Structures are given as structure tokens and as C-alpha cells.
Structure 1
Amino acid sequence: MKIKYFSIPLLILAYSCSPKATIKQEENQVTVPVSLLTLGNEEIYADEFLHILSKNRAFQSKESKITEAEFEETFDLFVNFKLKVKEAENEGLAEIDEFQKEFSMFKEDLIRPFLIKNSLQEGELMKAYNRMQEVVKASHILLQFPSNASQADSIAVFRMAEKLKSQSEAGADFNELALEYSDDPSAQENKGSLGYFTALQMVHQFEDAAFGLQTGQISDPILTGYGYHIIKLEDRKPNPGEIRVSHILVRTPPNDPVSEERALRKVGDIYTELQKPESVWEDVCKMYSEDMGTKNSGGMLSWMSTGSVIPEFERTAFSLTEIGEISPPVKTPYGYHIIRLEDKKPLATFEEMEEIIKSKILRDSRSTLIQSQVVAIQKSRYSFEENEALIDSIGVIFKNNVKNDAIKLIQSKEWKDEMIIKISGQEKSVSELMDFMDKAEQIVRIGANDYFTSWYDKFVEVNLNTAEENDLEANNKDYQLILKEYRDGILLFSLMNQNVWQKALEDSLGQITFYEENKDRYQWNERVEALIVKMGKENKTANVRKFLSDKKYQSNLEARLENTFLNDDPLAFTIENNIFEMESHPILSRAMTNKAFQEVSFDGKTYFILLGNKIPAGPKKFEETRGKVIQDYQEYLDKSLLSKLKNNYIIRINEDEKRRVYDIVTNK
């Protein structure tokens, strides 16, 4: 192994925060890890450098190959970066509260993509979106449980559901059965028909069953929070996407045949009026529509998808095919509608809908299902054990005592230090569970469970999550690298802010000293007083030229120009009036130095120039260049910091390992 010591030039490492590395390292390259470099007593390995290096390069094509010079420069940057992180650690910056809080917030975001829960959520999101490619039409019969239902009641309801399924499969009319037996109030109107719907519009147990049926098939009894459902799938077809329509509404009072007849005649007359070539939809809508919220805006409604509005309206609206097409009057519980198609669009992409789908999933019962699956996987993966007898005993105590009394009573028991759960070989005692409940730092929803069971489940969930996080931190290489990258990045920022950036901004004495010692850096070239007029409107050019042609440069000339011309036409021209370096100014560099008034054309614009006194080259005052001084002072402090670190830490490079890394990124 060849080792060398070397000095590192001043460079600050900067790279992106993407969590995906693009270099694929060879598997099983070495049995024992070999360090790439050593800083002091800390060994740093190639995978960390490759992770950083891959942020801005894919190394997959010939055009993206890294040159040896680029590799050496990046390697030096990496060493500089690690030196500063090492110093930040030695200064104790990783121990301060501000760092701990910031790093904890980053960890919460960084770990999410690696968690079991995230994988399950992603699966549910994609399943929901795939289902959204279709809409299904179904009818159902709902059988609800009686109040305070016993187990026998539940079985009786289930048996009734099975009986109705059998009758329907034997030839009985499903919708007539729904009318007679369904506990869904709407069945009296729709005979159990739900119309078309797609994913995330029904509770997930109902949705799963409906999308699992073939057309014409009847489901087994499906249990939801509403009771048992029997579902008959009537149709399925591609999702038509979304449409936007406008409508004219004529309302009909319920149970009033006279008003109903009058409304029917009125909507018929409106429809006839709309057939005339000279009719204007917006005018007719404003005149006759009884939807007060939309009549003045042409009856325009929001975008709608299948299953989002009442079936009668939806059926007619989605039957329109041409933009501007107008439907005959359609009856709904609100009255009579005439509908016009305004626009339509296909189902959005998964990327566009991802956040909406996620929000809906996390709000419905699917989120509880996902959490149950997470816990089950965690328990299996981390060898979960529990002391069932002890849990039962504690449950009885909580059942018979209020919370605080129960905790005190349990803490006084001999078995308070006994194991109640074990995760990955780590035991948690009864006392730890009681402390967890007593501190009440978690949000626990009691729901259908008793008080103790809800808190015990949360205790198990929190400890399983901790076990998963610890496992990722100890064994998942990708997560380790990303976590270290962010940790080191925060430490680097803290060190640089403390020793370079903020210090340079606040050290006014240091700024002046640096300025005095480096005054030759801050010099003016020859300058000139100048008034520059850039014409905005060429029709004013002759008048401005005449006004300026016999003038000499004066500082108050700007005000005279503005008062003469801009009061009436503020856009006629713009003015620059200052002391400029002629050679570097884009307009003055085109002017003649020995002529006071002159005209210059540049980039299609006319410029008038009045030159005043010339100011010879010389040093800038500190106030004139303070910003540049601070910038240079920061660079000086950075160099000084690196110089100190190179003297304080021994840097050893494993040249064999470095060459191996170079061969990887150049595909040699």
C-alpha cells in the first residue's frame, strides 16, 4: 500500500442534495474495507467519496467521463470538506442544541423514503391510480346491524346477506331486492344503483370488492363500517377523465305538480330559444337560470369527474362529446337542467395526482390498514415478543382504576421491572411502559379500544419504529451515506459561518486591516463624470438632442431634463448620472474621451452623452469597496482556516484505493 502526505489547495466543496447516487459499485470487491484516506485517527472510505462524486456526474456516457485532472480537483475538494467537518466535530459543534435540532429535522425527512411505511404507501398510491384508469358501475344492498348488536345479531345479518346473494344469483332482480331489503335510505329512489365511480370514492373495503368483480358478478357479503354489503357489478369502462360544463337551472318545488308542470314548460321554452342561431348562451343563462351562484358567469361549474356529482346530471354531462354541445333538459332532485360542454381533459398523470391521492388515502381507513401492515412486518423483522400474561394483568388494573392510580399501583408491584416486550433482543420493562403513559408525549386516539390497549399499542408502535430507524442507520448503506452527507453538510456550514462568513461580516476592524494591507487590489481606473441619456421613444430624440447639444456637464442637469421632458412623457428616456470608469462601461467605452457632447447608437437604441471632469486612476476608499473587501476577507479567512487544519491534522492518502476509485468512475 502506497501512502503519501500532501498539502491541499484552497477549494470549498459544494454539491447537490439529491438522495440518489448514480455510480454502481462492484459487489464483493473486498472482504475487509480499506480506507481511502485518513484524517488524524479517522478513516474515510471510498463509498462516501463515490456517493459525493456521483451527485453531478453519471459516468455512463463517453461525454460525461471525468478526466484525471477533474478527478484530482474533486478529490482535493473532498479532502478539504472532510478536514473542515473534522474540525467542526473537534470544536464541539455537533453537540450544541441548535445543531441537534436542525439535524433531527433533516433526519425525519431523509428517513421517510427508506421506511417500510413509505413502501406500503407507495404501493397503495399506485394501486389507487391504476384503478383510476377505469370507472365501474355497481348496485348494492346494505344490511346494517341493530343498535348494541350481539354476536348472534351479527351472525344473523351475515346469514341474511348470504341469503339475498343466493336469491339474486338464482334469478331474483337485484335492484328489486335492494328496494325491499336495503338499509341504505337512497335505495328507495335508486333501487341500490350507485352509478359509476372510481378509486377513492368509496370506503376501501367496498372499493376492493367492487373492482375485484367481473361484470354481472355478485360479491360475497362485504363488511364495512356501515354494515354488510352485497355488490353487483354492472359495467366497467375506461375513465373518461374530467369535463367542465355550464348549466341553466329551472328549480322545481317538491310535491307540487302545478309548479312542476310550469317548470317543465319553462325549461322547454328555454331549450327552444337556445336552438336559434342568434341566441347567446350567456345571455339566456343570465336571464332565466335559477342557480344564483352561476347565472351571472354563464352557468359555469367546476371541473367534474365520474362519481363526483348526482348520477342524473353526470350521465347527461358525460354523454356530451363536442365542445359547445347543449343537452336537452334533464331532471334531477334540484330541478331541470340544460347542460353545455365547455371543456374536457383526460385523467392527469400519476405525478400530477400523487399528492391528492396521498391526502385521500391518509384520511380514510386505508391509513389504518397500512399502519397495521407496517406493525406486522416490523414485528416479524425485529423478532418481536410480548409478555401476554403481564399485559392482561395490567389491563385489568387499568379497567378498575383511573389512569394515575393505575400507574402508581403498577409501579409498586414486584414485577414493575419485568419484560413486557422484546424487540431485536432489547427488552422494555413495565416501568418503561408506565413512564411512557405518564409523560403522555404521544397523541393516542382511543377509538374502539380500551384506554390501556390504545396506549400499549402506541408504546409498541413507537419502539418498533425506533428499532427500524436504528436498523436503517446501522445496516442500510444508502441511508448511512445520505445521513452522513447531511450531517457533515450542517457541520461544515456551522464551522464556515462561525470562522469565515459571519466573522468576516462582523469583524469591522479586521476588514479595515485587510483593506490597508491589500490596498493595491482596490484601485480605480481613470474615471469621468458623465450624464447618459438612453432614449425610449425615438420621436423625442430631436428635442432632447437640441436641448443637450449646447450644454456642459453639470450635476443638476438631470433634474432639468426630467422637468423639461418626463413630466409629460415619463417613458421618453432614462438617465444615468454618476462617475464612471470609461473603459469598462458598455456605452462610455464607445465614446470619444475628448468630446463633451456626443451621440452613440448601440443595440438599436440612441444614447446622448455629456462628459465632465476626468478623475485620474487611484485607490478606492474603503467605503467605496467594502463589499469586495468583505468577499476577499472571507476568502483569506478560509485559506487561513485550511492552512491551520493542514498543520493540525495528519492527512494520509491510500494511493492504491484512490486509483481503484478513479478506475471505477472512468470505467477502466
Structure 2
Amino acid sequence: MNHRAISASVFSLLFVLTTTFPVFAWQDSGQGETLLTLGGEPIEKDELIYLISKGQDSNPTSAGMSRDEFEENLKLFINYKLKVREAEALGLDKTDEFYREFESFKENLKSPYLIKNSLEEGELRKAYSRMQEVVRASHILFQFPANASKDDSLIVLRMALKIRDEINAGGDINELAVEHSDDPSAKINKGDLGYFTALQMVQPFEDAAFSLQPGQVSDPVMTNFGYHIIKVFDKRPNPGQVKVSHILVRIDEEDPNSEDLARRKVADIYTEIQKENTIWEDIVKNYSEDPSSSQNGGMLPYFSVGSMIPEFEMAAFSLTEIGEVSPPVRTKYGYHILRLEEKKPIDSFEDLEESIRSKIMRDSRSTMIQSQVMAIQKARYNFDENESSVANLENKLKTFTKSQLPGAVAAKGLDNEELFTLQGKTYTMNDLVSFIEEEELSIRAKTTVFDAWYDRFTASVLNKAEDADILANNKEYQMLVKEYHDGILMFSLMNQEVWQKGIEDSVGQKAFYEENIQNYQWDDRVNAYVVKVLDITQVDAARNLLKGKEYSQELVESFETEYRTNKPLAYQTENGLIEYKKHLILSQANLNENYQEIEANGHLHLILLGQKSPAGPKKFHETRGLVIKDYQEQLDKALIDELKNKYPVQVNPKAKEEAFISLNQN
């Protein structure tokens, strides 16, 4: 759930619960930051400023706050804090339900303040910035042999450097790719990758390609696939997304005559398309050999650069006018004719944010971010690893599995071996063993089991240190946590003492209704059927059915059935026992005439009147919803009256004035 949306709802709830009550004079204790006390418990002025400021932020057109508005908000704030104080006194903050809900909120609220979040945000913005551009490049891949040694890697590197020098000396990278590239597709595309944008290549390859200018050749770029030599041919603005329909004529690679037959067939189709009155969808249905699209006009979903094979993609993005048809295009599938259906620019950052995040978290950037997070945490929290001890432990424990590790540590007497210190506290192998025993999940270790669990334990300790730091030192986070803590408690108290009680206490509802019967009164009413004529050509039909008739439910039902069946758009009707004095139409009616016609707001209204009913009290079932609402308001007021006596309120005038001034500063 979005925490800003929750926050807004808590804030709205806080300032809806308004009740006026007396405030006692402040006894100055020299605590300038204390705005007020409730039963002796201090409340800081910063909390009031924070909550009101959030309300002002949600309404950016508001210009400052008047004195009356501030006083009203202060009363509402005090009501809120009284209820929170009572909820705590009742132990509502000690329940399992509260703990689960609050801890869940805390975890979500913490995210924006984490080091990881700021680094992720930077990567997201960088990726989106790169997505504004597309790059056309070719490459040659030099793969490492299986189980490559350091010497093997150097041999591959030297070969990559040699080919790079040839390209820089004027060699054709595409011809060299056919000869040297270990990328299987190079035999077909000669290393030409077409156009691509951010997040479509592995990170090191992308970084290199976006750093080069057209015509430049990279030094060897190492990825998990091996070394790449990259040459950039073009950079241009990202054209966004395109939707095309197409006709496909396939080529059978095993039939030597297939190429010539397909070329002639697609030429005939293209000629047919040029004729006047030709229907594209019919041509597609009759001739296209793409079974997935031939029955729907050849339509393909929107796609962006880097999503299709290069020849098809370049043809699609070269079309400029909606309905424009391309000449035949050869791909590995055969010959295509494309028609442009729609174009749209690249989506906004907000629309793409989650998609970009998902892609980043699945590639090597996520590992890079985590490494950067740990480096910053180690520097910030004075992390000092006992390198010799850790190396010794790794050597002695490298052959053991997770389940064997605790026993091996005990048997070898390694429990108290130091791992590292953090913020002055020393962590030992015993702490790591406890961590391993508490964890239910296993780790797929690329290194030894000890190394994998040591890294996870270190990350856990560092993350806890960061969490504690944020809670202790980040004022905004502290305020946000307190807002949610108090908001949940107030909600729980109100639900227990006001809302559910108001709904479930039927005896209290009826007693309240009887005590306040004067608030639940009908005005003078009349049984009426009002027919608003929407289609003036149907007015005579309505007159014939209503004029000269007595008002009755049978007549109303007969008319309703007739017009809903045959002329559902001809009339708009209203029926029932209606308070007529403030009714837009009935207030103009002559109550002594059964049938009459009134012109109002550009429409003719046919009116049929029945028996009149004088003003009088509403029955309980007729107004139960309003009674419950009013009863809840009374319960709320009674609760506030009780709490203001239980927890006397004292306000500090100096801090109050400071808060008012602060809220009105630009």
C-alpha cells in the first residue's frame, strides 16, 4: 500500500474528529519545545507542525493558515493525542494484532530512507535517461574456454586486443565478426545488433556502448559471456513504441526454389495493395503465412527498439504516416510487408519505474548496488574486519555444509574467534553460528558455505545498524513512524469505543432516537409520480396513460413497465411519498389537482398526485442510518469529555505561538 495515501487517510481521520473543550493555563517549565502536556505527558510542537504541514502539502493552493484555522487544528490535534493516550493506557499497543500491523508499516515506511533506496533511485534515473536514446552497434565476442585458467583468459584478451587494433586500422568489424566472433548469430547478422536501448544488454556491455560516440571502438569489455569488442555506428533519440500489422511470405530454407517463389509472390501482393479500393485486412487474410496474426488483420502488439529482429524493426520505425505501407522486407523468416497502425512516445518515468526496477533487480546491477550499500555501511558504522581470523576460519571450515558447520565450530573450539567489530561491538563465530541456526533457508553458494553465510551475516548486522541509525537520527522517519503508531492506536480505540459500539448497540440507538426525536422529522409530504419527458414526441403517449387517472402503485407500475419495455429513453421518473415544499418540481405544483403539467429547466414534467401526509416524526427504521451516525458522534463527544478530565491538558503559549509562526513561514 502506498504510505503517502495511508498517511493522508490518517491525517484526514485525525482532523475530522472535532470537539471543543477547555484548556488549562500553562505553567512554564523552561521546555520551549514542549507544546502541551496531557496528564503530565509532554507533546512536542514539532509533531503538530509536522501533521499540519502534511495537510498543507496535500493542498498546494492553500496560502498560509489563519489564526482561527490554527486554533481549530490545535483542538483537533489535542483530541487525537487524548485518544492515543487512552489507547496506550488500555494496552491496545501491546496486542499481537497491533504489533503485526505496526511492524508491517514500519518496514514499508523505512524503505525511502535506506542507503539502498537512494542508490536504486540513481540507477533507475540513469537507466531512464539512457532510454531516451537508442544505439546501433556491432560486436565481436571472444568466449572463454570451459574452466578457463588465468592464462586462458589472457590469451582471449590478447586476441580481442589484436582484433580491436585491426578495426582501428580500418578493418571492417562486420566482416571480422564473421571470421572471429564466438556469437553464433554472427554468421547471419555479421555481429550487427541493430538498435537497442538501456536494459536490453548486460550492464558492462550497455555501459561501454553508451559511453562511445558513433565511429568509436571499445577496448575489450568483459561480461559473463567473455570479451567483447564493440563499435557504435549511430545514436539517435528513442522513437518510443510502434504498432504495425504485417503480411508474411515464408521461405523454406531446404527448398532451393523457395526464395525465388517467395520474392515473386510478395511482389504480386505488394502490387495488389497499391490498387484502389483494396482492403488490407482481406489481403492479409488471403495471403499472409503468419498463423498467429493473419486472422486479425496481421496486427502485432506495440513494440519498442530492440524487441524485434533488426530488419523488421528498422522497417517498422522508418514508417512515418499512419496507414503507410512498406516495400517488402527480407528477414530470416521470409518476406514481410508492414503497415503502420499507431505510434506513441516513450512512457513517463513514473509509468516505467516499476518495470525498470524489476529489470535492474534481475541483472548484475542488483549485485553492484548491494556491494555499494555494504561499502557505505561499513564506512559509516566503523566496520573493522579481523582479516587473519576470517581467513583462518574459512580455511578450517571450507569443507563443511550448513548443517555440519555448527558442530564443526564447536569441535574445533572456534566459537570465540573474532569476525569483525561494528560500532565498537565485537562479533564472533558464535554469533554467526546462532545466525545460521535461526535461518531456515539455504544458500546456493558460488564459494564455500562458510563464505556465503559469513557474507549474509555481515549484511544482516550492517542492515540492523542502519535501521537503528535511521530510527535514532532521522527526524522525518521518526515523525512518520510516530504518526502511524498513533494513527493505528486511535483507529483501534475509535473502533472499540465509538464506531462498532454505535453500530451494534441497538438499545442505545433507540434511546438516542427517542431522546432526539425532534431531529428526525418529516416535512409535509405527498404521494407523487413525476414523469420528466426527455423525448417530446412521446408526450402524448404519457398523457394518455396518466391524465384523468387516480394515483396508485398499480398505475405507476403499469406505466413503468410500458415505457421501460418500449421507450426506455423517453422518460425519467420519480415516485413515492415525497417532501414537496423544497422539491424542485412539486414545490410549484397545485396540491389540489391530481394531474398537472409543469415546465421546468427546459423539460415538461407530468405530475400525478395522491394522498397527502402531514409533517411528523420519522419511524426509527426510516432514519436508522442517520441515527447511528449521530449516535456515534455523541459517543465520540462523550469519550472526549471523559478523557479531558482523565488527562488534564496544559498548553505552552510560547511554543504554541512558535508553531503558528512556523506554519505561516514561506
Structure-1-length-normalised TM-score: 0.90
Aligned pair in 2 of structure 1 residues 335, 70: CA closer, same or farther (>3 Å)? same
Inter-partner Cα distance in structure 2 for 1:210 and 1:369: 19
Q: Assess if the C-alpha contact under 8 Å between 2:137 and 2:233 holds in 1.
A: yes
Q: Assess if the C-alpha contact under 8 Å between 1:384 and 1:423 holds in 2.
A: yes
Deviates more, 1:631-640 or 1:397-406: 397-406
Inter-partner Cα distance in structure 1 for 2:167 and 2:548: 104
Q: Assess if the C-alpha contact under 8 Å between 1:600 and 1:608 holds in 2.
A: yes
Question: Once the 2 structures are TM-superposed, how far is the Cα of residue 570 of structure 1 from its aligned partner?
Answer: 4.2
Q: Assess if the C-alpha contact under 8 Å between 1:37 and 1:45 holds in 2.
A: yes
In structure 2, the partner of 1:424 is 423
Question: Once the 2 structures are TM-superposed, how far is the Cα of residue 566 of structure 1 from its aligned partner?
Answer: 4.7
Once the two structures are superposed, residues 79-100 of structure 1 have per-residue CA deviations (whole angstroms, 9 ceiling, x without a partner) of 1111111111111111111111
Q: Assess if the C-alpha contact under 8 Å between 2:385 and 2:419 holds in 1.
A: yes
Q: Assess if the C-alpha contact under 8 Å between 2:32 and 2:654 holds in 1.
A: no
- Do structure 1's residue 364 and structure 2's residue 336 form an aligned pair? no
Inter-partner Cα distance in structure 1 for 2:411 and 2:86: 49
In structure 2, the partner of 1:189 is 188
Once the two structures are superposed, residues 589-619 of structure 1 have per-residue CA deviations (whole angstroms, 9 ceiling, x without a partner) of 2222332322223333333333333222222
Q: Assess if the C-alpha contact under 8 Å between 1:15 and 1:52 holds in 2.
A: no
Q: Assess if the C-alpha contact under 8 Å between 1:242 and 1:346 holds in 2.
A: yes
Q: Assess if the C-alpha contact under 8 Å between 2:534 and 2:569 holds in 1.
A: yes
Aligned pair in 2 of structure 1 residues 190, 261: CA closer, same or farther (>3 Å)? same
Once the two structures are superposed, residues 283-321 of structure 1 have per-residue CA deviations (whole angstroms, 9 ceiling, x without a partner) of 222221111222222222222222221112222222333
Aligned pair in 2 of structure 1 residues 215, 531: CA closer, same or farther (>3 Å)? closer
In structure 1, the partner of 2:255 is 256
Deviates more, 1:387-396 or 1:268-277: 387-396
Inter-partner Cα distance in structure 1 for 2:188 and 2:149: 31
Once the two structures are superposed, residues 341-383 of structure 1 have per-residue CA deviations (whole angstroms, 9 ceiling, x without a partner) of 2332333322232222222112211111111111111111111
Question: Once the 2 structures are TM-superposed, how far is the Cα of residue 267 of structure 1 from its aligned partner?
Answer: 1.1
Task: Specify the SS of the correspondent of 1:416.
Answer: coil
Task: Specify the SS of the correspondent of 1:501.
Answer: helix
Aligned pair in 2 of structure 1 residues 12, 82: CA closer, same or farther (>3 Å)? farther
Deviates more, 1:366-375 or 1:454-463: 454-463
Inter-partner Cα distance in structure 2 for 1:15 and 1:119: 33
In structure 1, the partner of 2:99 is 100
In structure 1, the partner of 2:8 is none
Alignment of 1:224-623 (within 5 A): 224-396=223-395, 398-411=397-410, 414-417=413-416, 419-441=418-440, 444-445=443-444, 447-562=445-560, 566-623=564-621
What stretches of structure 2 of length at least 5 have no aligned partner? 1-10, 17-29
Aligned pair in 2 of structure 1 residues 567, 227: CA closer, same or farther (>3 Å)? closer
Task: Specify the SS of the correspondent of 1:230.
Answer: strand
Question: Once the 2 structures are TM-superposed, how far is the Cα of residue 414 of structure 1 from its aligned partner?
Answer: 4.7
Inter-partner Cα distance in structure 2 for 1:559 and 1:245: 54
Q: Assess if the C-alpha contact under 8 Å between 2:325 and 2:340 holds in 1.
A: yes
Structure-2-length-normalised TM-score: 0.90
In structure 2, the partner of 1:8 is none
Once the two structures are superposed, residues 123-148 of structure 1 have per-residue CA deviations (whole angstroms, 9 ceiling, x without a partner) of 11111111122222222121111111
Question: Once the 2 structures are TM-superposed, how far is the Cα of residue 339 of structure 1 from its aligned partner?
Answer: 1.9
Task: Specify the SS of the correspondent of 1:610.
Answer: strand
In structure 1, the partner of 2:664 is 666
Question: Once the 2 structures are TM-superposed, how far is the Cα of residue 638 of structure 1 from its aligned partner?
Answer: 0.5
Q: Assess if the C-alpha contact under 8 Å between 1:13 and 1:78 holds in 2.
A: no
Q: How many residue pairs were aligned?
A: 643
Question: Once the 2 structures are TM-superposed, how far is the Cα of residue 151 of structure 1 from its aligned partner?
Answer: 2.0
Deviates more, 1:319-328 or 1:113-122: 319-328
Question: Once the 2 structures are TM-superposed, how far is the Cα of residue 508 of structure 1 from its aligned partner?
Answer: 1.3
Task: Specify the SS of the correspondent of 1:101.
Answer: helix
Task: Specify the SS of the correspondent of 1:636.
Answer: helix
- Do structure 1's residue 14 and structure 2's residue 19 form an aligned pair? no
Residue type of the partner of 1:458? R
Q: Assess if the C-alpha contact under 8 Å between 2:397 and 2:408 holds in 1.
A: no
In structure 2, the partner of 1:3 is none
Question: Once the 2 structures are TM-superposed, how far is the Cα of residue 77 of structure 1 from its aligned partner?
Answer: 1.1
What stretches of structure 1 of length at least 5 have no aligned partner? 1-10, 17-30
Q: Assess if the C-alpha contact under 8 Å between 1:58 and 1:64 holds in 2.
A: no
Inter-partner Cα distance in structure 2 for 1:487 and 1:191: 62
Once the two structures are superposed, residues 158-217 of structure 1 have per-residue CA deviations (whole angstroms, 9 ceiling, x without a partner) of 222222223333343333332222111112222222222111110001000111123222
Inter-partner Cα distance in structure 2 for 1:550 and 1:60: 57
Task: Specify the SS of the correspondent of 2:453.
Answer: helix
In structure 2, the partner of 1:647 is 645
Inter-partner Cα distance in structure 2 for 1:159 and 1:235: 27
Once the two structures are superposed, residues 422-480 of structure 1 have per-residue CA deviations (whole angstroms, 9 ceiling, x without a partner) of 333344443332232223245744x5233232222222222222211111111011111
Aligned pair in 2 of structure 1 residues 226, 639: CA closer, same or farther (>3 Å)? same
Aligned pair in 2 of structure 1 residues 66, 160: CA closer, same or farther (>3 Å)? same
Once the two structures are superposed, residues 373-407 of structure 1 have per-residue CA deviations (whole angstroms, 9 ceiling, x without a partner) of 11111111111233434434543454333332321
Deviates more, 1:519-528 or 1:97-106: 519-528
Inter-partner Cα distance in structure 2 for 1:631 and 1:272: 75
Q: Assess if the C-alpha contact under 8 Å between 2:56 and 2:62 holds in 1.
A: no
Deviates more, 1:33-42 or 1:374-383: 33-42
- For the aligned residue pairs, the C-alpha RMSD in angstroms reads 2.6
